[in-house]
Structure 1
Amino acid sequence: MTYASWFRRAGGYLVDVVLAFLPSFVGGLVYESTVGPDGEPSAFGRAADLIGIALAILVFAYNRWIRAGRTGRTWGRQLMRINLITEQDGGPVGGSRALLRDLGHVVDTLALGLGWLSPLWDGKRQTFSDKMVRTVVVEAA
């Protein structure tokens, strides 16, 4: 088992965030394009913005927690050819643990960002969040 490099992990996360952000971005463009002379957007623009935000949340939740929980792969991880697995048995982490892992990234951030960088020097290339929920990211076979 080969632990995934920080660069592959970061690349996968970046792809996941960009893909999740796209519906909100499109909704925001529609919102801005419907602003009238009074400076207010149309009802359609407001609806498009809210739908875009809702879709972004749903895409993120599906990709990061449901898909990753079942398969170990988000779209970004698939592109980078890496998998998220349990440290104990190498199996899928499940949706709850994938969610807790993402929530644990708050700790990675609050520790002056060191948690995000810890895969650069950690033996198992784990973030603090990985350590908390006992997961590792490995290169796909």
Structure 2
Amino acid sequence: MTVVLPISASRADDAAPDPTPASWAARAGALVVDIVPGVAVVATMALLALASPADGWARWVFTGAGAAALFAMALNRLVAPAATGWTLGRALFGIAVRDRSGAPVGIGRLALRELAHLADTLAVFVGWLWPLWDARRRTFADLLARTEVLRVERPRRDMRRLVAVFLLAVALLCAAAAGLGYLTVYRHERAVDAARAQIAEQGPRIVEQMLSYGADTMPADFARAQGLTTDGYRPQLVAQQQAAQKAGVKSNEYWAVSSAVLTNPPVTPDQVSMLMAMQGQRGDDPKDLKFITATVRVDFDRSADGQWRVANLTVLKKPQMNQAQQ
């Protein structure tokens, strides 16, 4: 007679099944929760930083917020699993990264695994789909780092509510940043458009007044011209005026026949450059007048009182003088 003996409790415990590999859907869902919100914040901040004025405070705010989002992603993906065993997304879906023995994985191997995900991506994303037919549902990164993603018991904390609050906070942050960026960029663009329009209207007249003077009103004309320049350019203009006086020039009159606002360097609310084609006449005796043509580039700066001043004038085409026809 054969007697069947019951298996002892200790032997039953020893025969406990191995942890179950996480499903592809659970891994994908956890990755979305861990990565997509951070990428959304980084992308939003990067776009707003690039669109913001280069010398404005908003660019630094958006850049700092993007850097903080990257740092938070690194904490969630590298530090949190080593410290608590979870990332936010993996805690929601009840999965965790383990080594082949089932033990937790340290920061070093987690960092190696994150870098190895490049292999998943560079292989035309095949590595991300590899768990669909791999026996242990591993990606290329898991194979390289000798890790597995296993189903584990979820934390006792209500992860659904926590993740919902987190996603709402990310959405509000992106919306607030977009609103701030809109106001900043919109105001900047309006200021740029206003500066461009002002120079298009005032620039030729400012240069005409700066270069023109008469024999009877020369001191007053020179003083007026100096008032149309910045402190940095004024000494150069004074030297030119003194040279003209020594050469015995009595009258000089210029007018702009065409002009265009330059886009390189870019127009800012306080700095604009313009290209001008100038014509003029020099001399006092109608029988001895000389007609002048020249092409110049003029840089304008807005002064503290809001007025435009000539910051520099560069002659691009040497002035040509022709004797008046009798």
Q: Which TM-score band (shorter chain)?
A: 0.7 to 0.9
Q: Partner amino acid for 1:105?
A: H
- Find the aligned partners of 1:130 and 1:5 in 2 and give their Cα distance: 14
The range that moved more, 55-64 or 14-23, is 14-23
TM-score (ref. length: structure 1): 0.84
2:127 matches 1:109: no
Residues 1-141 of structure 1 correspond to what in structure 2 (within 5 A)?
1-21=19-39, 23-24=41-42, 27-28=45-46, 31=49, 35=52, 40=53, 43-88=56-101, 90-141=102-153
TM-score (ref. length: structure 2): 0.39
Q: Partner amino acid for 1:94?
A: G
How many matched pairs?
A: 135
The range that moved more, 106-115 or 121-130, is 106-115
After superposition, what is the alpha-carbon deviation per residue over 1:78-125, rounded to whole angstroms, capped at 9, x for unaligned? 11111111112x121110111100100011111221111000000100
SS at match of 2:22: coil
Q: Partner amino acid for 2:37?
A: L
After superposition, what is the alpha-carbon deviation per residue over 1:48-103, rounded to whole angstroms, capped at 9, x for unaligned? 12111211211111000111233331101111111111112x12111011110010
Measured after TM superposition, the shift of residue 31 of structure 1 is 4.4
Higher-Rg structure is 2
Please identify runs of 4+ aligned residues in structure 1 that moved more than 3 A: 25-32
Identity among equivalent pairs (%): 38
Conserved? CA contact 1:25–1:52, under 8 Å: no
Measured after TM superposition, the shift of residue 43 of structure 1 is 2.1
Conserved? CA contact 1:101–1:133, under 8 Å: yes
Conserved? CA contact 2:20–2:151, under 8 Å: yes
RMSD value, Cα: 2.0
Quickly say closer, same or farther: Cα 1:19–1:76, change in 2 above 3 A: same
- Find the aligned partners of 2:61 and 2:141 in 1 and give their Cα distance: 35
SS at match of 1:76: helix
Q: Which runs of 5+ in 1 are unaligned?
A: none
Conserved? CA contact 2:49–2:63, under 8 Å: no
Measured after TM superposition, the shift of residue 22 of structure 1 is 5.1
Q: Which runs of 5+ in 2 are unaligned?
A: 1-18, 154-326
